[in-house]
Amino acid sequence: MIHYTCDLCGRSLKDRDVIYELNIEVHAIYQPLQIDLVDMLKDHTDEIRGLIEELKDKDPQELQDQIYKTFKFHLCPPCQQKYIKNPFAPIDQAGSGDIEDSAPDRE
Ligand SMILES: [Zn+2]
């Protein structure tokens, strides 16, 4: 049996509780490349070497996270209700795990 805990409020979820799974996928969107004959005939060797040189000392995980990152959370019913009302509401950093009911005022 898998034991679940609400990732927002920290409440231990019992077998009879409805448990919600929240999957977040963040990925980069790129415009389609426009490749013409000039691009195809050009020698890209120096450009590729430059890219390899630029990336060789970077952290592979950090590079991957810039392109694609997923998160998986489990929520109790009250936190699910708060989340679906405003997924971008800031999470209380004080530790209660409550999602504020409204977004902060913006100037
Ligand atoms: Zn909760």
| pLDDT (tens place) for every residue of the chain, 107 residues total | 789 999 999 999 988 889 999 999 999 999 888 999 999 999 999 999 999 999 999 999 999 999 999 999 999 999 999 999 999 987 654 444 444 444 434 33
How far is the centre of ligand 1, averaged over its atoms, from the C-alpha of 88 (Å)?
16
How far is the centre of ligand 1, averaged over its atoms, from the C-alpha of 79 (Å)?
4
pTM score above 0.85: no
**Spatial distance between the Cα atoms of 78 and 91, rounded to a whole number of angstroms:** 14
pLDDT at res. 107? 35
CB 76 within 8 A of CB 11: yes
Q: What residues flank ion ligand 1 with Cβ within 5 A?
A: 6, 8-9, 11, 76, 79
